[in-house]
Amino acid sequence: MKSVQDAANDSALDVLRSVWGYQTFRGRQHAIVNHVAAGLDALVLMPTGGGKSLCYQVPALLRPGCAIVVSPLIALMQDQVEALHQLGIEAAYLNSSLPAGEAYAVEQRFVSGDLKLLYVAPERLLTPRFLDLVARAPVSLFAIDEAHCVSQWGHDFRPEYRQLTMLHKRWPSIPRIALTATADPATQEEIIERLQLDDAEQFSSSFDRPNIRYTIVEKNDARRQLLDFLDGHAGESGIVYAMSRKKVEDTAAFLRSKGYNALAYHAGMDTETRALHQRRFLREDGIIMAATIAFGMGIDKPDVRFVAHVDLPKSVEGYYQETGRAGRDGEPAEAWMAYGLGDVVNLRKMIESSEADDSRKWMERRKLDSLLGYCETLGCRRQRLLASFGEVMANPCGNCDNCLNPPEAWDATEPARMALSCVYRCGQRFGASHLIDVLRGERTERILQLGHDTVSTFAIGRDIDSNTWRSIFRQLVSHGYLETDTHGGLRLAEASRTLLKGEQTLQLRREQARVRRQRRAALS
């Protein structure tokens, strides 16, 4: 005889096969579905593309009543409901985009038990009117999608998410399932605390996205480098992330001038244009979206083949989320970034000159340090990325730039000391370009004016080319030997002492392009 559990297993698979036409569950989906279908709470941590939706959609069909899905994004709700309709499932959504008459009709269907899934925006869910409907309707479960929106540290913070605990207080017997693609352990803890999910079973999947190839290049001619990268992706859909609205516009225009089908997306554009661009990106093939991070959450396009960063993202977590939009279909995809001294200086400057309080600044500095560590690493990027989420990967991945084309470490102790003492001799307030001119012994107008041709470090570094100097300065800033002031000027940090005194040596990363050039030169 079959046990109750077996019967549930069978029916979950039956539903998956008969309704979705998929043969098997992926990863932990099956366990999650059974858990929630049995009426228990769950917290699901699964990377983008892992298949979170099925984790609440299948239980919604297995349990009597209607599942309420809290989702922060209108566009996402519409897409999901449309997809469910195509499968013949009774689903609807309620949000501010719906005319009153239609909203009323949806409410009636909900209360009379005609719906299996109802997607609601959090602010709508929390209204007395809607809560009253919930009290009268048969509800099978609450699904809280994008659960990291409760975290005030993330950029997706939605204050209403904080109040979702009241669902549990009022209807303790209705199971809840919270889902997120957030890999950051601190955010995960905050989710548990804020949504009172201490007793929920936690289902974590690996956050590895093996089909994404990670590459970081040293920025020297950003536009040409971007074009070179795009060369390998003709006709493919992708996203190019930049930090500012202006740079987004410029990048889109530049790419169009080079014959690419590029659109812009940022929060400063009007709602219609934004929606239009998003729709075109989703529906058409081969569109490149130049965007700020305003573009992304809930972009459910399986065949995004690449995500390029032309500016440094704000944190490893942000980088992971943004690059995670590539390759949701499991096919090979690329995460590419160009990164240079200017990026490091800019971000450090932004943190120092921001209005944030000290604890926030401290937090942001730590986040940036961890990101810079990732950028500068000589080892496998994937190992480093997953390690920052507390995940241990036994072997190097073989699918990142550092694995495919190992960078070299070189002893940069002497040049680093020259750079640091040059910073000191020039008064600790100049940017790297000027300092490099001094080291290289350029008699620029500025140098002559300031008398920097007479400091003892003038021209002591003339044997090193200026690109290498930039790489040295960048790494000195990234590794915390140099600090930036609010104007981007460089000054010595505490850590520089031992290096200056000769009590320490320093290994730096030699950029791969230069490594290749040197190897070629050695061969010829």
List residues near ligand ADP by CB under 6 A.
Answer: 22, 25-26, 29, 46, 48-54, 300, 302, 328
Is the CB of 76 or the CB of 195 nearer to ligand ADP? 76
SS3 434: helix
Please report, to the nearest 10 degrees, the dihedral formed by the alpha carbons of residues 460, 463, 467, 469 taken in order.
-30
Is the CB of 30 or the CB of 382 nearer to Zn ion? 382
Q: Interface with Zn ion includes 348 (CB under 5 A)? A: no
- The candidate with the shortest Cα–Cα distance to 97, out of 61, 59, 71, is 71
Contacted by 51, from Zn ion, ligand ADP, none: CB < 5 to 8 Å by type: ligand ADP
No. of helices (H) and no. of strands (E), the chain: 23, 17
Q: Which position among 291, 403, 455, 476 is part of the footprint of Zn ion (CB under 5 A)? A: 403
Contacted by 420, from ligand ADP, Zn ion, none: CB < 5 to 8 Å by type: none
Q: Which position among 380, 436, 477, 490 is part of the footprint of Zn ion (CB under 5 A)? A: 380
Q: Interface with Zn ion includes 382 (CB under 5 A)? A: yes
Instruction: State both tokens at 330.
Output: 């499991």
Q: Return phi, psi of residue 216, to 5°.
A: -130, 125
- The candidate with the shortest Cα–Cα distance to 182, out of 230, 210, 136, 144, is 144
Q: Which residue sits closest to ligand ADP, CB atoms considered?
A: 51
Contacted by 400, from ligand ADP, Zn ion, none: CB < 5 to 8 Å by type: Zn ion
Q: Interface with Zn ion includes 262 (CB under 5 A)? A: no
Query: Among residue numbers 303 through 342, which ones bind Zn ion (CB under 5 A)?
Result: none
Least spacing, CB of residue 404 vs Zn ion, in Å: 8
Instruction: State both tokens at 126.
Output: 């929390």
Least spacing, CB of residue 27 vs ligand ADP, in Å: 8
Beta-carbon count within 10 A of 70 CB: 25
Least spacing, CB of residue 343 vs Zn ion, in Å: 22
Is the CB of 87 or the CB of 409 nearer to Zn ion? 409
Is the CB of 19 or the CB of 515 nearer to ligand ADP? 19
Is the CB of 54 or the CB of 344 nearer to ligand ADP? 54
Least spacing, CB of residue 114 vs ligand ADP, in Å: 24
Least spacing, CB of residue 80 vs ligand ADP, in Å: 9
To the nearest 5 percent, what fractions of the chain are helix, strand and coil?
A: 45, 15, 40
User: Which helix H or strand E contains 31, and what residues bound it?
Assistant: helix 29-37
Fill in the amino acid letter for 173: S
Residue positions counted in the chain: 524
Tokens 């065949």, residue located? 303
Please report, to the nearest 10 degrees, the dihedral formed by the alpha carbons of residues 133, 135, 138, 141 taken in order.
100
Structural contact between residues 262 and 287, judged by C-beta atoms closer than 8 angstroms: yes
Q: Interface with Zn ion includes 385 (CB under 5 A)? A: no
Least spacing, CB of residue 178 vs ligand ADP, in Å: 13
- Pairing relationship of beta strands 42-45 and 176-180 according to DSSP bridges: parallel
Least spacing, CB of residue 401 vs Zn ion, in Å: 8
Contacted by 48, from Zn ion, ligand ADP, none: CB < 5 to 8 Å by type: ligand ADP
Distances in whole angstroms, Cα of residue 353 to Cα of each of 65, 326, 358, 509: 53, 33, 11, 29
Least spacing, CB of residue 27 vs Zn ion, in Å: 22
What is the contact surface with Zn ion in residues (CB under 5 A)? Answer: 380, 382, 396-397, 400, 403
